[in-house]
Each structure stands twice: as structure tokens, then as C-alpha cells.
Amino acid sequence: MLEPFLEGIVMRLSPLACCLIGALLFAPVLPTHAAEASDALRDQLLKTTQALVDALPTGNKAAWENALTEDAVVIDEFGRVAGKAESVSSLHPFPSGFSGSIELRHAHAWQYGDTALLQVEEYERETVFGQNLVVRYLSLLTFVKQSGEWKVAGYEDVTIPTPPPKLDVPNLVLSDYAGTFRYGPGRAWTITSDHGALHYVTHPGSPSSVLEPIAKDVFMSGDDEHNLLIFRRDDHGKVIALIERRKFNDLRLDKER
């Protein structure tokens, strides 16, 4: 029944339109996934990235000037967005008393034509007046090929949450914090005191995590996010609520009586 209708449409199409339709119908199907980059390309992208991170302590602007495209976008671990000019101008040697280095780990690279992606961990060691700090970042760099050279068009990194050093907080009465804390129907945390530590589960049957003390009434969650947990007391000193401070927001959980 549709054949006469379709035939009429085809007859009314211009020769150019017919050519375009034919090209679409018989066009080859392009792969939807980028291919794993060769070892040689991965190593080349790593060499460029290593030069960029090596330039940070020394304030070497030339490394960044040469590696970035003119319209590159750089997003740092705090979510600040900068272009090439701003990124280059922000580079300065570390002040006296500060030193550091970044080791690139666990690199993976993919290539899709003249575009390549590099995912890599940046393992930073920093010394601040004799105190040693370690910060881990997960970085994603987008490279594009311009005039035969691979240039960085996008650079984004996030801080990998890692367990902080443990603190000794004396005179904590762990039993004060035990109980059920609810923030909605069917949504509650259960906190228990066991063997000198606080444990919590976010729903029945889930694995328990340890609350690491930071100060009186302030703890850090033992999960991957390491959020701050702040217990609130009433005028009589009794714990009545729990505040989960996560991603710059507070979620309040009221203690069941």
C-alpha cells in the first residue's frame, strides 16, 4: 500500500537529494568505540603529560605554552576552569620551603582518528617545610592532532579520596552516638559502638563502615567519599541529630527517640 506513496515522493525529489539519500544509505558504518592506542602513542602522550606536571614546581611556562592548543580548556581539582593564557600565566616556581613531584601511574590511552584520550593517575608527593604530603589525582586529557603534533585540548583532574591520618581524640563517650538516625521514610542509618570504635550502616544488610574521629562530635565516614559527620546536641548535651556534610551540602538525620 505504501509503494505508490513512496514512489511519488522519490519522483518529486531533486537529483541532489537522491544522491544524498543514496550516500546515507550506503555509507560505511563507523566504529562507535575508540581503539586502544598503540604503546608508542600512549608513551608519547605520557611524555607530554609528564612534561606538564614537571613544569609545575619550577613554573616552566614554555612546557605548557608548547603543549596546549590555543583554545584548550583546563579544569583543576577544585572545579576552576581556565583557558590556555590563564593557565600559562598562573605558573610560578614553588616558594621557599615547598617542593614536590608527580609520578604518572596506571595510564590508559585510546585513539579515535586525530583525537586521543589519556586517563592517568597523578601521584603527587609534596614537602611543606619538612612535612610530607601525598595527594592522588585521576586525570583525563584530550589530545588532538594539529600539524602532525599531538596537542592537549582538554585537561581535567579530580582528587581521589584517600584515608587521612588517624587522630587520637581523647575522652570520647562512644555510647553517646549510638542509635538510629533517620532522614526519610525507609531511610535511616544505624550507628553502633563496638570494640572501641563507631560503626554505621546506611541501610539493612549493607556492609558497615567505621567512623574515624576528628574531634568531639566530629567524625569522618569510612567509605570512599570520606565525608564529614557532625553530631548535634540539645541544651542538655544529648545527641539529637547527625549532619552528613557532603559535596558542600548538609544532610540532616534526626535521631530516633
- Residue 216 sits in a domain whose CATH number is 2.40.128.50
Domain annotation covers residue 106 = yes
| pTM recorded for the entire structure | 0.80
DSSP for 35-82 reads EEPPHHHHHHHHHHHHHHHHHHHHT-HHHHHHHEEEEEEEE-TT--EE
- 55 with 155, same domain? yes
Number of domains in the chain: 2
Read off the amino acid at residue 58.
Answer: T
Q: CA–CA distance from 120 to each of 52, 81, 83, 136 (Å)?
A: 13, 20, 21, 11
pLDDT for res 42: 98
* Residue 250 · residue 256 · CB < 8 Å: no
Domain annotation covers residue 54 = yes
- 112 with 49, same domain? yes
All three cell numbers of 111, joined, read: 585513539
**Which of 99, 131, 159 is where one domain is finished?**
159
Contacts of 49 (CB under 8 A, 6+ apart): 104, 118, 120, 139, 141, 152
The bridge status of strand 131-146 relative to strand 115-128 is antiparallel
Residue 110 structural domain: 35-159
- 51 with 153, same domain? yes
**Which of 105, 134, 159 is where one domain is finished?**
159
For 88-99, the pLDDT digits (tens) are 999 999 999 999
pLDDT for res 203: 87
Q: Grid cell 584548550 — which residue? A: 72
All three cell numbers of 56, joined, read: 609545575
Measured in degrees and rounded to the nearest 5, phi and psi for residue 64 equal -75, -35
- 149 with 178, same domain? no
For the chain, residues with pLDDT lower than 70 are 1-33
User: What is the spatial distance between Cα 257 and Cα 246, in angstroms, rounded to a whole number?
Assistant: 25
Q: Grid cell 616558594 — which residue? A: 95
Q: Which has the closest alpha carbon to 106: 77, 68, 78, 139?
A: 139
